[in-house]
Chains A and B, each alone.
Chain A
Amino acid sequence: MTGKSGAKKEEELSDVKLDSPYGYGYSESFKPKKAGFQWRSLSIKRLLGLLTVIILISILSVIPNLLKLKKSKVVIILAANEGGGVQRWKTPQEWSVERSSIANKKEYAEKHGYILTIKDVSLKRRYSHEWREGWEKVDILKQTMRQFPDAEWFWWLDLYTFIMEPEVDLEQYLLDHVEDKTYRTLDHFNPLNIEKDLPYVDTRKEPVDLVLAQDCGGFNLGSFFVRRSPWSELLLDLWWDPAMYDQMHMKWEHKEQDCLEVLYSKMAWVRNRIGFVPLRAINSFPPGACSDQKDDPRYFYNDKERDFVVNMAGCNYGDRSCWDEYEYYRKLQKKFRETPWYRLW
């Protein structure tokens, strides 16, 4: 049917041409009449061709992502070798947890093309002088920023964290438009009762360069994001000061964490660029942590809502076991990621 009509058309056109070059076949602008769009020329074959092209384009557009051609802006800093076996021997279970933690981040980083860098936070002599204790984190962040001069965001992760949802794309999840996704005041949650009003604070035009979460005891630096900027370089320079540490080292039980809380509670320039996210967005706790508030759903991992990261900090205290907890979450994650039998991939 279609073939026939096509032939007919051809005949018509050739006829016209032969008939009268200057008369009927030319439009008023002395140009040959164009063969316009013909509904009749749409056929299944053409539709199929069109579809093939669309599918090809879509596959081609996915390839750069698959081949990691996209340049990574994110560096994951994993603090490994906690303690370094200085104060006591590391047990085989600790080695095992460390191995799975590293494998977990490695897999995640490879999947999204992030850079993973593993930093040693073992006890070192040069930090044992009381004025420099707690300085490691700051030094490592500074050093990593120098090591990866093209990276924008740095994600600090403690060793006992586990990424439960490796599919999460950090940029989509948090880092793109981070100002719209973070709280700029402590009104939502203020476990330390920090003064909410501080003179000179102005967050209206300031970007967010440090993303933090708070747990039941205040700021949590087990998982946080820093953006490279003059502000963060300044913060890393001023975070630790011998004169402040000299006065506060007896009170600052959590070292750099307490120090940051103090800077936040007193200085407007620090407050201006810190954004807060709920703890469960980047740092869920297993039951056992924050034991005084064990019924508060804001802190604890929720497998229905599939929280992103679990942080088993403090798992080697009390009657908790790091290895048990780690194995539990590792298996749970595996279960989530099993594909149903009817899917081919």
Chain B
Amino acid sequence: MALRLPPRNKKSVLSSHAVRRFIRANKGPKSIIIFILLISLTNWVLFGNAFLGPLGKGSLPSSIKSFYHLMTPAYLDKLQTTYGFQGHDTIPVKTLEIVPDVQDASMLRHLGLDNLFRVEVHTKDSSEEKRYFYTPDYFEEVNVEGEAIASSSSKDIVQKAVVAFKRMGRTVYKGSKSPQIVLVMGLDFQKYEDEYALKVLPNRVNYASKHDYGLYVRWIQEFTPRLQESHNLDTNWWRPLLIREAMSAFPQAKYFWFLDERSLIMRDDLTLESYLLNADSLGKAMLRDQPVILPESAIKTYRNTAPSDVSFIFTQDSYALNTDSIIVKNDMYGKSFLEYWGDNLYRGYSNFADNEVKALTHILQWHPYLLSRTALVPPRMLNSIHTDEKAKKDSMHSYQKGDLVVNFRSCELGNTCNNLAEAYLKDK
């Protein structure tokens, strides 16, 4: 068990006697410095880099290693942050409901678009066309000087309605806990009677508040200048724009359910998560290999789309896709899809300008990547259609008691919205 140091190698690496003597004579730090200098010199001659030696092979002068000398550092840190169409000057609210005051409807109707927007009259071939534009107070708070505010109380009510109308688009949810699902709806103060609005809005409020969903409702008239620009007035082209606005107002929510304003939710007990959105239910409900255009088309939904990959859910009516009831996921696909669909190159395209469904059909037929994130579900899951008592019922589409939604579309043509809503709400 002798403790020994390892036997010393008596043979020196440097065999030359002179070098040995030199080292012996210059023992200590001096020799180390000389040694390091020697290595550096060899490295420099052999590898072109005195310090790194073979490791530095391939390293370059700094001006080649990066292009930092070409950059302006001040702009490097610049990032853009999110805000809606109406700009940075947002109005935060803590309530789950971002809803216009229906009491303003008659006032707004009375005022008309001429008092809500800046108007330019263009004369073309002896016909006059009014063009509407957003005024600066849509985008930021403008301090109106004394006179408007100091006037009589009736003018106050007018002013209040106008200001509320212009501020709708800047309202965003800033509460502590974001809802998972947000219901989205557009209200038209010119098309429907006030009584009707007072039926459909509480219907949404009840459903949303029962399940802690958010609710996002805007006046359709707010989109007038954007729609007019691309000849989309009196169409449903505001829908993609509205849903995108909703995403910006509830940035943390996961799903957005747009439901047409001529529809009522008939089953308050059903939550969207358990009814449709969980992977299991959606997997069962999705129509696979379903033609995009009915009755038959070359493009069909994919057979193997996983429910977790679905970002948009639509229904079809008897001949085409339908946009009355849409669920969009708040992810990269959902946003890009809405921005692409709602772009004015689509809205302004002469073949699409009158109908957003044509553009939607086009997208799903030409862009397989978006089609692969799409689910079509049986119409009555999200969009049962009201059928007249005299008409023949269709088991695929017609509303039956127990369905989630009843849609009495085109009711405004016969002015029956209010009556129908009353009947259905009684029956609920």
How many chain-B residues does the 8 Å CB contact rule pick out? 72
Contact across chains for B78 and A185 when beta carbons are under 8 A apart: yes
The yes or no answer to A62 lying at the interface (CB within 8 A) is: yes
Among A174, A269, A305, point to the contact of B332 (Cβ < 8 A).
Answer: A269
User: In this complex, what residue of B is CB-closest to A282?
Assistant: B67
| Distance in Å: Cβ of B254 to nearest Cβ of chain A | 17
Given the contacts A233-B369, A234-B333, A269-B335, A308 and B79 also touching, CB distance less than 8 Å: no
A244 near B345 with CB under 8 A, answer: yes
Question: How far is it, in angstroms, between the C-alpha of A180 and the C-alpha of B77 when the chains are bound?
Answer: 8
**In chain A, residues 195-218, which have Cβ atoms closer than 8 Å to a Cβ of chain B?**
197-204
From residue 340 to 387 of chain B, which have CB atoms closer than 8 A to chain A?
A: 340, 343-346, 348-349, 351-352, 359, 362, 366-370
Could you say which residues of chain A place their CB within 8 Å of the CB of B63? 305-306
Q: Which of A41-49, A95-103, A122-130 binds B?
A: A41-49
Q: Which of B54, B79, B86, B244 contacts A185 (CB 8 A)?
A: B79
- Cα of A184 to Cα of B369 in the assembled complex, Å: 26
- Determine if A3 is an interface residue (Cβ-Cβ < 8 Å): yes
B362 CB to closest chain A CB, in angstroms? 6
- Asked if A278 and B71 sit within 8 Å, CB to CB, the answer is yes
A198 and B368 alpha carbons, distance in the complex (Å): 27
- Is B25 among interface residues, defined by CB-CB distance under 8 A? no
A150 to B177, CA, bound (A): 40
Per-position contact with B for A267-305: 1 when CB-CB < 8 Å, else 0?
111110000011011000000000000000000000001
Chain B 385-417 residues near chain A, CB threshold 8 A: none
Report A244-284 residues with CB < 8 Å from chain B CB: 244, 246-248, 262, 266-271, 277-278, 280-281
Does residue A187 face the partner (Cβ distance < 8 Å to B)?
Answer: yes
Chain B residues within 8 Å of A237, by CB:
367-370
Q: Which residues of B contact A (CB under 8 A)?
A: 1-5, 8-10, 12-14, 23, 31-32, 35, 39, 45-46, 48, 53-55, 57-58, 60-61, 63-72, 75-76, 78-87, 244, 247-248, 332-333, 335-336, 339-340, 343-346, 348-349, 351-352, 359, 362, 366-370
Instruction: Tell me, in angstroms, the Cα distance from A219 to B335 when the chains sit together.
Output: 24
Least Cβ distance of B314 to chain A in Å? Answer: 18
Shortest beta-carbon distance from A8 to chain B in Å: 11
Contact with B4, one of A2, A10, A308 (Cβ below 8 angstroms): A10
Choice from B65, B76, B79, B351 contacting A172 with Cβ under 8 Å? B65
The 6 closest A-B pairs by CB, nearest first: A237-B369, A281-B67, A269-B336, A202-B82, A188-B75, A278-B70
Which residues of the other chain, A, contact B69 by a CB distance below 8 angstroms? 305
Docked-complex contact B10 and A241, CB < 8 angstroms: no
Partner of A183 from the list B57, B64, B76 (CB cut-off 8 Å) is B76
Binds B, one of A70-78, A80-88, A321-329, A337-345: A337-345
Residues of B within 8 A of A69 (CB): none
A191: interface (CB < 8 Å): no
Provide the residues of chain B in CB contact with A67, threshold 8 Å. none
Number of A positions contacting B (CB below 8 A):
77
Indicate if A29 sits at the interface (CB-CB under 8 A): no
Q: Decide if B362 touches A200 in the complex (CB within 8 Å).
A: no
> Contacts A13-B4, A17-B3, A59-B54 hold; do A231 and B362 have CB atoms under 8 A apart?
no
CA distance A33 to B368 in the complex (A): 77
13 more A-B residue pairs beyond the given contacts A246-B349, A266-B344, A266-B345, with a C-beta to C-beta distance below 8 A: A6-B5, A6-B8, A32-B1, A168-B65, A199-B248, A200-B247, A201-B82, A204-B81, A234-B369, A269-B336, A277-B67, A305-B69, A342-B45
Interface string of A162-180 (1 = CB under 8 A from B): 0001011100111000001
Q: Which A residue's beta carbon lies closest to that of B63? A: A305
Complex contacts, A172 vs chain B, CB 8 Å: 65-66
List 16 A–B pairs whose Cβ atoms lie within 8 Å, in order of A's numbering.
A6-B5, A13-B3, A32-B3, A45-B12, A172-B66, A181-B71, A184-B80, A187-B78, A199-B84, A200-B82, A200-B244, A200-B339, A203-B80, A238-B367, A243-B349, A277-B71
Pick from A14, A45, A230, A234: contact of B9, CB under 8 Å: A45
Give the distance to chain B from A102, nearest Cβ to Cβ, in Å: 23
Known: A14-B2, A202-B82. A306 touches B54 (CB 8 A): no
A23 beta carbon closer than 8 Å to chain B = no
* Structural contact, A344 and B45, CB atoms closer than 8 A: yes
User: Interface 1/0s, chain A 28-40, versus B by CB < 8 A?
Assistant: 0000110100000
Q: How far is the CA of A33 from the CA of B1 in the complex (A)?
A: 12
**Given A241-B366, A243-B346, A305-B63, A231-B54 contact (CB < 8 Å):** no
Q: For residue A41, which residue of chain B has the nearest CB? A: B5
Indicate if A58 sits at the interface (CB-CB under 8 A).
yes
**Any B CB within 8 A of the CB of A314:** no
Tell me the complex Cα distance, A342–B80, Å: 53
Chain A residues with CB under 8 A of B333: 230, 234
* Chain A nearest CB, measured from B244 CB (Å): 7
| Residue on B nearest A273 in the bound complex, by CB | B332
- A90 interface hit (Cβ, 8 Å): no
Which residue from chain B places its CB closest to the CB of A205 in the assembled complex?
A: B79
User: For residue B75, which residue of chain A has the nearest CB?
Assistant: A188
Query: Is the beta-carbon distance between A203 and B79 smaller than 8 angstroms?
Result: yes
Residues of chain A within 8 A of B85, CB atoms compared: 199-200
In the complex, are the beta carbons of A248 and B335 less than 8 A apart? no
Contacts of A17 in B (CB 8 A): 1-3
| B residues near A244, Cβ cutoff 8 Å | 345-346, 349
User: Does A320 interact with chain B (Cβ within 8 Å)?
Assistant: no
Cβ-closest chain A residue relative to B8: A6
The answer to whether A35 and B3 have CB atoms under 8 Å apart is: yes
Chain A: minimal CB distance from B89 (Å) = 12
Q: Hey, what's the 0/1 contact readout for A1-19 against B, CB within 8 Å counting as 1?
A: 0110010011001100100
A62, B54: Cβ atoms closer than 8 Å: yes
> B75 contacts which of A47, A61, A167, A187 (Cβ < 8 Å)?
A187
Chain B neighbourhood of A9, CB < 8 A: 5
User: How far in angstroms is the closest Cβ of chain A from B172?
Assistant: 12
Cα A33 to Cα B367 with chains together (Å): 79
Contact status B66-A243, CB under 8 Å: no
Cα-based distance from A266 to B344 in the complex (angstroms): 9
Given the complex, which residues of B lie within 8 Å of A184, measured CB to CB?
Answer: 78-80
Cα–Cα distance between A238 and B68 once the two chains are bound (Å): 33
Interface centre among B63, B339, B344 (most CB of A within 10 A): B339
Determine whether the beta carbon of A269 is less than 8 Å from that of B8: no
Which of B39, B83, B84, B345 lies at the interface centre, i.e. has the most chain A CB atoms within 10 A of its CB? B345
